[in-house]
């Protein structure tokens, strides 16, 4: 490089590059909605609703609300975009990262069938 008319040698360059993930190190498990974990949450709520205890009715209400929310998000995005997604935005419900992601997002089937 040239500084004030003189040639200076570049010693090293610190700024790193991100070859693996084209998305860089964007937030991944820092807020967005993942279906494998949501499936396990629903499953545990489902079991709480079927066991007599202090949380039974509260769990039932939360189970229904969460199941409705997930199905609206996943099925809605499938109708709009034609795909199942790796994760969904917790801000507006849009599908994010890669598609088609019919790995654990396919658990939408078990959620629909209430087969836990």
**Between residue 87 and residue 116, which ones bind another protein under the rule CB under 8 A?**
88-110, 112-115
Residue 28 beta carbon to another protein: minimum distance, rounded to whole angstroms: 5
> Is 63 among the residues that bind another protein (CB under 8 A)?
no
Sign of the CA dihedral running 26, 31, 35, 37: positive
CA 46/CA 84 separation, integer angstroms? 24
Residue 50 beta carbon to another protein: minimum distance, rounded to whole angstroms: 9
Residue count, binding to another protein (CB under 8 A): 93
> Is 16 among the residues that bind another protein (CB under 8 A)?
yes
31: β partners: none
> Is 23 among the residues that bind another protein (CB under 8 A)?
yes
Exposed/middle/buried for residue 32 (C-beta within 10 Å: 0-12, 13-18, 19+): middle
């Amino acid at each position: 490089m040239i500084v004030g008319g003189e040639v200076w040698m570049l010693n090293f360059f610190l700024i790193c590059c991100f070859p693996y993930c084209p998305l860089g190190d964007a937030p991944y498990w820092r807020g967005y909605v993942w279906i494998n974990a949501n499936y396990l949450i629903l499953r545990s709520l489902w079991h709480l609703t079927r066991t007599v205890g202090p949380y039974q009715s509260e769990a039932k209400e939360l189970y229904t609300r969460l199941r409705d929310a997930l199905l609206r998000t996943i099925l809605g995005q499938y109708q709009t975009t034609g795909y199942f997604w790796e994760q969904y935005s917790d801000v507006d419900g849009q599908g994010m990262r890669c598609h088609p992601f019919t790995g654990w997002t396919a658990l939408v089937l078990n959620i629909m069938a209430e087969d836990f």
